[in-house]
Structure 1
Amino acid sequence: MCKIIKEERYIYEKRKKCFFCSTLLVIFMVSILFTGTTVKAVTANPEDNINLVVLFNDNTIDTKVEDFIIESGGKIVSNLSKVGGLEVKCKSALIPKIQAYDTVKSLAPNHNIKLPKEKTIEFKNYGKRKITANSANNNQPGDLYNLYQWDIKKVTNDGKSFEICTGNHDVVIAIVDSGIKKDHPDLEKNFMGGKNFVSKDFNGDETETGDVDDINDRLGHGTYVAGNIAANGRTKGVAPNIGFKSYRIFNSKGDTNATIVSSAIIEATDDGAKVINLSMSGYDLKGKCYWTDPKTGIKHSLGDDMAEYELYKRAIKYAIKHNVTVVTAAGNDGVDCHNAKKITEFLNTQNGDEGFKYEGLAYEIPGNIKGVINVSATGTTDEIAKYSNYGDKFIDVTAPGGDSSKTGTINDMCLSTAINDSGYMFGEGTSIAAPKVSAIVGLLLCENHSFTPKEIVKIIYKTSEKLDDNKSKEYYGAGLANAYEALAKYK
Structure 2
Amino acid sequence: MNRKLAFSVLTGVLTASLFAGTGLSALAQKSSQTYAIVFKKNLPSNYEEIISKAGGNVLRTLPKIGGLEVESSDPGFLKNLKGVSGIQAANIEMKQKLDFKKVDPSTTDGQPVTDIPQADEIYSYWDYQWDIKRITHNGDSYNIETGGTEKNGQVKHKAIVGVIDTGIDPDHPDLKANIVGGENFVPAGADAGETGDPNDIMDRVGHGTHVAGSIAANGKVKGVGPDLGIRVYRVFPESGSAPNSWITDAIIQAADDNVDVINMSIGDFDAISRYNFQGTGSYSDIADILLWKRAIKYAIGKNVTVVVAAGNESLNLNNPTEITDYMNQEYGYLGFKYKGATMEVPGQIPGVITVSSSNEWSTDKIAFYSNYGTKSIDVTGPGGDNGPVYDETRDLSQRDFHYRTLSTWPTYLDPYFTSNLKGYALLNGTSMASPKVAGIAGVIKAANPDLKPSQVAALIRKTSVDMGKRGTDQLFGAGEANAYNALK
TM over 0.5: yes
Q: Distance in 1 between matches of 2:143 and 2:104?
A: 32
Partner of 1:19: none
Paired residue for 2:372?
390
Shift of residue 48, structure 1, vs aligned partner: 1.7
Shift of 1:210: 1.0
Q: In the alignment, which residue of structure 1 is the partner of 2:67?
A: 85
Q: Which residue matches 1:463?
A: 463
Residue 175 of structure 1 pairs with residue 163 of structure 2: yes
Contact 2:3 2:96 in 1 (8 A): no
Q: Distance in 2 between matches of 1:70 and 1:475?
A: 48
User: Aligned residue for 1:144?
Assistant: 125
Note if 1:377 corresponds to 2:362: no
Change (3 A) 1:36 1:390: farther
Q: 1:239 aligns with which of 220, 225, 230?
A: 225
Q: Distance in 2 between matches of 1:353 and 1:411?
A: 36
The 1:108–1:208 alpha-carbon spacing in structure 2 relative to 1, beyond 3 Å, is: same
Contact 2:16 2:96 in 1 (8 A): no
* 1: CA distance, partners of 2:98 / 2:318: 24
> What is the match of residue 382 of structure 2?
400
| Cα-Cα RMSD | 2.6
**Residue 216 (str. 1) matches residue 202 (str. 2):** yes
d(CA) in 2 for partners of 1:88, 1:74: 6
What's the CA shift for 1:340?
A: 2.1
Q: 1:360 & 1:126 partners in 2: Cα distance?
A: 42
Structure 1 position 324 matched with structure 2 position 304: yes
Equivalences, count: 451
Deviation at 1:44, TM superposition (A): 2.5
- The 8 Å contact of residues 159 and 228 in structure 2, kept in 1 or not, is answered as yes
Q: Distance in 1 between matches of 2:161 and 2:79?
A: 41
How far off is 1:120 after superposition? 9.9
* Deviation digits for residues 433-472 of structure 1 (CA, Å, limit 9, x no counterpart): 1001000101011111110011011101110011124266
Q: Answer yes or no: is the 8 Å Cα contact 2:306–2:352 preserved in 1.
A: yes
1:131/1:312 CA distance change after superposition, 3 Å: closer
Bigger relative CO (Cα 8 Å, ≥ 6 apart): 1
2:161–2:230: 8 Å Cα contact kept in structure 1?
A: yes
Pair 1:74-2:39 in alignment: no
Q: Is the 8 A contact 1:35 1:116 kept in 2?
A: yes
Superposed CA deviations along residues 22-57 of structure 1, whole A, max 9, x for unmatched, are xxxxxxxxxx83155446322123872221111111
In structure 1, distance between residues paired with 2:18 and 2:334: 14
- Contact kept in structure 1, 2:315 and 2:322, CA below 8 Å: no
Whole-Å separation in 2 of the counterparts to 1:373 and 1:242: 19
Equivalence for 2:35: 52
Give the SS at the match of 2:36: strand
**Is residue 229–residue 237 contact of structure 1 (8 Å, CA) maintained in 2?**
yes
Cα separation, 2, equivalents of 1:472 and 1:118: 35
Q: Could you tell me whether the CA contact under 8 Å between 2:471 and 2:478 is conserved in 1?
A: no
Gap change, CA 1:47 and 1:212, over 3 Å in 2: closer
Match of 1:190 in 2: 178
Separation in 1, partners of 2:49, 2:331: 31
Paired residue type of 2:341: L
Cα distance in structure 2, aligned partners of 1:34 and 1:227: 17
Q: Which amino acid aligns with 1:216?
A: M
Shift of 1:411: 3.0
1:254/1:73 CA distance change after superposition, 3 Å? closer
Give 3-state SS (helix, strand or coil) of 2:249's partner.
Answer: helix
Do structure 1's residue 97 and structure 2's residue 80 form an aligned pair?
A: yes
Shift of 1:74: 1.8
With the length of structure 1 as denominator, give the TM-score of the two structures. Answer: 0.86
Map of 1:196-345 to 2, 5 A cutoff? Answer: 196-202=184-190, 205-253=191-239, 255-289=241-275, 299-302=280-283, 306-345=286-325
Tell me which amino acid in the other structure corresponds to 1:253: S
Kindly indicate whether the alpha-carbon contact (under 8 Å) linking 1:324 and 1:453 is maintained by their aligned counterparts in 2.
yes
Q: Which whole-Å deviations, capped at 9, do the CAs of 1:369-397 have from their partners, x for residues lacking one?
A: 11100001111123300011111211100
Matches within 5 A, 1:357-436: 357-381=337-361, 382=363, 383-407=365-389, 408-419=399-410, 420=413, 422-436=422-436
Task: Write out per-residue CA displacement over residues 172-230 of structure 1, whole angstroms, 9 at most, x where no aligned residue.
Answer: 1000000000100000000011000011112xx12111111111100000000000000
Distance (Å, rounded) in 2 between the aligned partners of 1:443 and 1:72: 49
Distance in 2 between residues matched to 1:328 and 1:456, nearest whole Å: 14
Letter in 1 for 2:192: E
Aligned equivalent of 1:62: 44
Q: CA deviation at 1:69?
A: 2.0
Secondary structure of the equivalent of 1:189?
helix
- For 1:130, the equivalent position in structure 2 comes to 115
1:268 Cα deviation after fit: 0.6
Measured in 1, the distance between the counterparts of 2:263 and 2:167 equals: 13
Assess, with a 3 A threshold, how the Cα gap between structure 1 residues 47 and 253 changes in structure 2: closer, same or farther: closer
Q: Return the alpha-carbon distance in structure 2 between the equivalents of residues 3 and 268 of structure 1.
A: 20
Please report how far the alpha carbon of residue 156 of structure 1 lies from its aligned counterpart in structure 2 after TM superposition.
0.1
- Between the aligned partners of 1:36 and 1:94, the Cα distance in structure 2 is 27
Q: 1:83 to 1:121 in 2, by over 3 A?
A: farther
Unaligned runs of 5+ in 1: 15-31
**Counterpart amino acid of residue 429 in structure 1:** G
Are the aligned partners of 1:7 and 1:333 in contact in 2 as well (CA < 8 Å)? no
Percent identity over the alignment is 39
Deviation of residue 126 (structure 1)? 5.3
- Mean alpha-carbon deviation: is it higher for 33-42 or for 232-241? 33-42
8 Å contact from structure 1 (residues 120, 427) kept in 2: no
